[in-house]
Each structure stands twice: as structure tokens, then as C-alpha cells.
């Protein structure tokens, strides 16, 4: 290390304090934005995270890019989690998947039931709600069939 003069040390300390002050200001702005979004119930968790990231970076990250990156990461995590499951854990995993799909069914029913006459919803919300309802229903019933087949594999064969 080099020896610093007191004046150089003081100048570096001031620069570090200024950088810390700037970081604290940005963090406070992000916290205020996140608190405002939570208080207003502005949307789902992904929307809150995307908007908070945009606020923290001064708009450098587009919320769409942030949401897309979360979606892509979720695909990879889901792939590796599902394919690394041992056969003994398949049935509990299917039960959890069916539970998640049942929550999707509730949300899809709410989207399908949007009243078009009051102007609160659009036809596209109903179409996507119907598609989500159909796909989640197929997932639930297919999951039950696969679970029944897995459980049948563990039963003793009768002679």
C-alpha cells in the first residue's frame, strides 16, 4: 500500500461518503416506490419487483425485460426441479402441482366472469381466462390420472 497524506485520505473519505449518500438516496427512492406500490396494491409480486427495479436504477431497466428475465429463470428452475425428482417423490409433487393449478382455476374463473357491459374488463381478459381455465383443468385431471397410475404401481399384485 502507498502512504497517503492526510489531505488525500480526507479527500478519499469525502468521495466515499458522497458515494454512500448517493446509494442511500437511490435505496430510499426504491423503498418509497415499493411501499407506494404495496399500499396501492398495484399488481402482482412480479410487477412490484419490476417497478421497484426500474425505480432503483433510475429507469435503466425496462420492467418488461425484468419480467421476461423472471419468466425465463422460472422455466429453467422448473425444468431442473421437475426432472431431478426421484420416482418416490413424484406423487407428492403432483399433489402440489394440482394445488397450484386449482389456484389458477380460481383466478381464471374470475377473469372469465369479468363483466363486459360495465367497461371493467375486455374481451381479451375473458379469452385468456377461458384458455387458462381449460389448460389448468387439463393439468389437474391429467395429474390425478398420473397420480392414480403411480399409486397403482406400488400396490401388490393379486394372484
Residue-wise pLDDT for 99-123, tens only, equals 788 888 888 888 888 776 666 667 7
- pLDDT band of residue 41 (cuts 50, 70, 90) is very low
Grid coordinates of 138: 387439463
Closest CA to 34 of 51, 9, 46: 51
Question: Rounded distance, CA 87 to CA 67, Å?
Answer: 33
Q: Where do runs of H (alpha helix) occur along the chain?
A: 6-40, 45-56, 63-83, 90-112, 123-153
Residue-wise pLDDT for 43-81, tens only, equals 456 666 777 776 777 766 677 777 788 889 988 888 887
Residue ranges of the domains in the chain?
1-84, 85-159
Q: Is the pTM of this model over 0.85?
A: no
Amino acid at each position: 500500500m502507498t502512504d497517503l497524506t492526510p489531505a488525500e485520505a480526507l479527500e478519499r473519505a469525502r468521495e466515499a461518503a458522497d458515494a454512500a449518500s448517493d446509494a442511500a438516496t437511490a435505496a430510499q427512492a426504491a423503498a418509497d416506490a415499493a411501499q407506494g406500490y404495496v399500499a396501492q396494491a398495484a399488481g402482482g409480486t412480479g410487477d412490484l419487483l419490476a417497478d421497484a427495479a426500474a425505480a432503483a436504477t433510475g429507469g435503466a431497466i425496462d420492467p418488461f425485460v425484468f419480467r421476461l428475465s423472471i419468466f425465463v429463470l422460472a422455466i429453467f428452475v422448473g425444468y431442473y426441479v421437475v426432472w431431478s425428482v426421484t420416482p418416490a417423490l413424484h406423487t407428492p409433487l403432483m399433489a402440489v402441482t394440482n394445488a397450484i393449478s386449482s389456484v389458477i382455476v380460481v383466478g381464471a374463473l374470475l377473469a372469465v366472469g369479468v363483466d363486459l357491459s360495465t367497461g371493467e374488463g375486455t374481451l381479451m381478459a375473458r379469452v385468456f381466462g377461458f384458455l387458462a381455465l381449460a389448460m389448468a383443468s387439463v393439468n389437474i385431471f391429467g395429474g390425478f390420472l398420473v397420480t392414480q397410475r403411480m399409486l397403482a404401481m406400488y400396490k401388490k399384485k393379486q394372484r
